[in-house]
Structure 1
Amino acid sequence: MSKILIRGAKVLGGEPQDVLIDGETIARVGTGLPAEGAEVVEADGKVLLPGLVDLHTHLREPGREDSETVLTGTRAAAGGGYTNVFAMANTFPVADTAGVVEQVWRLGRESGYCDVQPVGAVTVGLEGRKLAELGAMHESAAGVTVFSDDGKCVHDAVIMRRALEYVKAFDGVVAQHAQEPRLTEGAQMNEGVVSAELGLGGWPAVAEESVIARDVLLAGHVGSRVHICHLSTAGSVEIVRWAKSRGIRVTAEVTPHHLLLTDELARSYDPVYKVNPPLRTERDVTALREALADGTIDIVATDHAPHPHEDKDCEWAAAAMGMVGLETALSVVQETMVDTGLLDWAGVADRMSFTPARIGRAEGHGRPVSAGEPANLTLVDSAYRGPVDPAGFASRSRNTPYEGRELPGRVTHTWLRGKATLVDGRLT
Structure 2
Amino acid sequence: MNTLIQNAIVADRHVFKGDILIENGRISALGQHLSAPAGTTVIDAAGATVMPGLVDVHVHFREPGYTHKETIRTGAQAAAHGGFTTVVAMPNLDPVPDNVTDLAALIAKNHHDAQIHVQQFAAITHGLRSTNLTDYAAMKAAGALGFSNDGVGVQDAATMYHAMKGAAAVDAPIVAHIEDNGLVDHGVINAGPKAQALGLPGINHVSESAQLARDLTLAEATGVHYHACHVSTKQSIELIRDAKARGVHVTAEATPHHLLLDDGHIPGDDPMFKMNPPLRSEADRLALMDGLRDGTIDLIATDHAPHTQAEKTGSFRDAAFGIVGSETAFALLYTSFVRSGWCTLKDLIGWMSTKPADAFGLDAGRINIGAPADLTIVDLDHAYQIDPRTWRSKGHNSPFIGRTVYGKVLWTLVDGAVAYQEEGTL
- Give the TM bin, normalised by the shorter chain: over 0.9
Deviation at 1:259, TM superposition (A): 0.9
Counterparts of 2:394 and 2:135, CA distance in 1: 31
Q: Which residue of 1 aligns with 2:368?
A: 370
Task: Tell which deviates more after alignment, 279-288 or 32-41.
Answer: 32-41
Conserved 8 A contact 1:113-1:416: yes
Conserved 8 A contact 2:253-2:299: yes
Identity of aligned residues (%): 38
Counting only pairs closer than 5 Å after superposition, residues 265-276 of structure 1 correspond to structure 2 as 265-276=265-276
Deviation at 1:159, TM superposition (A): 0.7
Establish whether residue 242 from structure 1 lines up as the match of residue 242 from structure 2.
yes
Return the TM-score normalized by structure 1.
0.95
Aligned residues: 424
Establish whether residue 34 from structure 1 lines up as the match of residue 32 from structure 2.
no
Counterparts of 2:403 and 2:5, CA distance in 1: 34
Which runs of no fewer than 5 residues in structure 2 stay unpaired? Answer: none
Conserved 8 A contact 1:24-1:418: yes
Counting only pairs closer than 5 Å after superposition, residues 21-420 of structure 1 correspond to structure 2 as 21-35=22-36, 37=38, 38-140=40-142, 143-362=143-362, 364-366=363-365, 368-420=366-418
SS of corresponding position for 1:227: strand
Q: Which residue of 2 aligns with 1:16?
A: 17
Conserved 8 A contact 2:384-2:405: yes
SS of corresponding position for 1:10: strand
Conserved 8 A contact 2:174-2:226: yes
Conserved 8 A contact 1:108-1:114: no
Counterparts of 1:236 and 1:326, CA distance in 2: 25
SS of corresponding position for 1:27: strand
SS of corresponding position for 2:122: coil
RMSD: 1.7
Aligned partner letter, 1:388: I
Task: Tell which deviates more after alignment, 398-407 or 418-427.
Answer: 418-427
Deviation at 1:175, TM superposition (A): 0.9
Aligned partner letter, 1:236: S
Counterparts of 2:68 and 2:104, CA distance in 1: 21
SS of corresponding position for 1:235: helix
- Runs ≥4 in structure 1, deviation > 4 angstroms? 425-428
In structure 2, do the counterparts of structure 1 residues 178 and 249 end up closer, same or farther at CA, with 3 Å as the change threshold?
same
Which runs of no fewer than 5 residues in structure 1 stay unpaired? Answer: none
Q: Deviations over 1:294-351 (max 9, x none)?
A: 2110010010000011111122211000000000111122133322333322222221
Deviation at 1:202, TM superposition (A): 0.9
Aligned partner letter, 1:16: K
Counterparts of 1:118 and 1:97, CA distance in 2: 13
Counterparts of 1:269 and 1:197, CA distance in 2: 10
Task: Tell which deviates more after alignment, 159-168 or 102-111.
Answer: 102-111
Return the TM-score normalized by structure 2.
0.96
